[in-house]
Structure 1
């Protein structure tokens, strides 16, 4: 799998500073202290605005390192052009939860963009909701990819 899909921020020069600031922000948030200066610094470090609402939503849900990594990604411009092999590899890893907290979320979003299936998360995690009825068996990563790419309606699984 190409780096742009595997871990797009691992080589970012801004990652260590973003992680340091995220940890500091989490610590200050937990203490009830003001962290507006650190939040602005994080925004400058990652090259985009990081809001108080994002901190509130992330705190207690994801680790500071994950928050820093997510802040470095432009979620509106995810990489396209994933090969079928790359998409299958991402799906296989997601299906067995093998990857970091950041990678798993990133892969699902990259798969959504590359397959064009806006409900891909439902297909992976809640297939009954995706199909609108219970399915007979758990889908394999290859079957999920076939459905997401429109090659099958998932009738084998229904």
Structure 2
């Protein structure tokens, strides 16, 4: 890739947190019993209790929906297929990860066959120099997934700002696997003219030049800032 080649190898720092991990207040909470197997059966057994439980559930749903609309509990939009990490064959990933572990740091002459097999199956043209030190930065499974996803990381002419914001939101989601995070980070790097966009996620202090890497930006701020700059 020509744009920000190291973007796919960067992992966001720990300052981003998914707010859904914070529990909602439990004071004066009404305990809900497990209802019978159908709403009809429940209503017949105890109509008054059934109506009370439905009312409580309805209020809980409205509360969750309010938080959802604030983009705190869940993402606000789905991404089209072109913006999603590809589905990978898990057997292939495991086999390539095993080969990578054998090649990583080993003598080049002793792993020529493994390297040839890796390149053949992954459809790559890597050399043994591309493998040393992989396990120091990330596990071989994640590294292999990034290699296999590389061909799917590309520029799109019709990408929209809301889609960029959603990808940024997912990059910030600590619950998303690292390889998927790296995919969306690389997609942003390829589709936004600001080649330093990864710094907005990882080292915002470096980006703004004030050294404040503890700064927490929301996805909208990240994208709006990056779109204003063309370094």
TM value normalised by structure 1: 0.77
Give, in angstroms, the shift of residue 18 of structure 1: 4.3
Aligned partners of 1:112, 1:69: CA distance in 2, in Å? 18
1:106 aligned to which of 180, 183, 188: 183
**Change in CA separation of 1:3 and 1:64 when aligned onto 2, cut-off 3 Å:** farther
**Change in CA separation of 1:146 and 1:77 when aligned onto 2, cut-off 3 Å:** same
Aligned partners of 1:47, 1:5: CA distance in 2, in Å? 22
Give matches, 1:1-158, under 5 Å. 1-8=79-86, 10-11=87-88, 16-27=91-102, 29=104, 34-74=110-150, 78-80=154-156, 81-134=158-211, 137-150=215-228
Higher relative contact order (CA closer than 8 Å, sequence separation 6+): 2
SS in 1 for 2:99: helix
- Kindly indicate whether the alpha-carbon contact (under 8 Å) linking 1:116 and 1:148 is maintained by their aligned counterparts in 2: yes
**Change in CA separation of 1:150 and 1:26 when aligned onto 2, cut-off 3 Å:** same
The 10-residue stretch of structure 1 (33-42 or 75-84) with the greater mean CA deviation from structure 2: 75-84
SS in 2 for 1:66: helix
**Change in CA separation of 1:2 and 1:121 when aligned onto 2, cut-off 3 Å:** same
**Change in CA separation of 1:127 and 1:28 when aligned onto 2, cut-off 3 Å:** closer
**Gap regions ≥5 residues in structure 2:** 1-78
SS in 1 for 2:138: coil
Give, in angstroms, the shift of residue 42 of structure 1: 1.3
Aligned partners of 1:30, 1:134: CA distance in 2, in Å? 35
- Kindly indicate whether the alpha-carbon contact (under 8 Å) linking 2:134 and 2:143 is maintained by their aligned counterparts in 1: yes
Structure 1's consecutive aligned runs of 4 or more residues displaced over 6 angstroms after TM superposition are: 30-33
**Gap regions ≥5 residues in structure 1:** 152-158
Aligned partners of 1:54, 1:118: CA distance in 2, in Å? 23
TM value normalised by structure 2: 0.55
Give, in angstroms, the shift of residue 82 of structure 1: 2.8
- Equivalent pairs counted in the alignment come to 148
Give, in angstroms, the shift of residue 104 of structure 1: 1.3
